Amino acid sequence: MFFFMMSVLFSYKKSITVVGDAHYPPFTFLDDKGNPQGYVVDIWKLWSKKTDIKVVHKLMRWEDAFEMVKLGKTDMIDSLLYSEEQDRFFDFSKPFSKVRSLEDLRGYSVGVQIGDYAVTYLKKHMPELSLRFFDSY
């Protein structure tokens, strides 16, 4: 349904720009030559092929990607963690991760990026979870 809606929404455009985090493997990251790679990038390539709409994927620091959305300088942002607060401003696709609930994380150390909303969310909803902090993913 998400991709159908996106096809209708962008059917008038010849290309769309999608921003994301350059340090979020395996979902989004830059290869040794600076080219966008990852699971989400592959999904957008498939979407582009099926819709004949070019996707320009720009990966950068997460804070910069979010700022581009706020300033209206991009069409979309990818890999955004769902929250009720963000649901007021963004439309979300169905999740594609195999982690379906916080309970699935029990017993694991979870790596999080300093400043990411995931830190706030996990501390609030599962304070006993062991978090490991990183400058980037």
Query: What pLDDT shows up at residue 5?
Result: 47
Based on the domain organization, do 81 and 126 belong to the same domain?
A: no
Based on the domain organization, do 8 and 73 belong to the same domain?
A: yes
Residue 32 lies in a domain: yes
Based on the domain organization, do 18 and 53 belong to the same domain?
A: yes
Strand partners, 37: 29
Query: What pLDDT shows up at residue 91?
Result: 82
Number of compact structural domains in the chain: 2
Phi, psi of 61 (to 5 degrees): -60, 140
| Tally of CB atoms within 10 A around 115 | 13
Query: What pLDDT shows up at residue 3?
Result: 47
Based on the domain organization, do 9 and 57 belong to the same domain?
A: yes
Residue 22 lies in a domain: yes
Residue 10 near residue 48, CB atoms below 8 Å: no
Q: Which domain holds residue 74?
A: 2-87
Residue 60 lies in a domain: yes
Residue 93 lies in a domain: no
* Coil vs helix vs strand at 110: strand
Residue 74 lies in a domain: yes
Residue 53 near residue 14, CB atoms below 8 Å: yes
Alpha-carbon distances of 12 from 1, 20, 54, rounded to whole Å:
19, 23, 12
**pLDDT (tens place) for every residue of the chain, 137 residues total:** 444 445 555 556 789 999 999 998 888 999 999 999 999 999 999 999 999 999 999 999 999 998 998 899 999 998 887 888 888 878 887 777 778 888 999 999 999 989 889 899 999 999 999 999 998 76
Residue 51 near residue 10, CB atoms below 8 Å: yes
Based on the domain organization, do 119 and 76 belong to the same domain?
A: no
Based on the domain organization, do 23 and 47 belong to the same domain?
A: yes
Based on the domain organization, do 61 and 121 belong to the same domain?
A: no
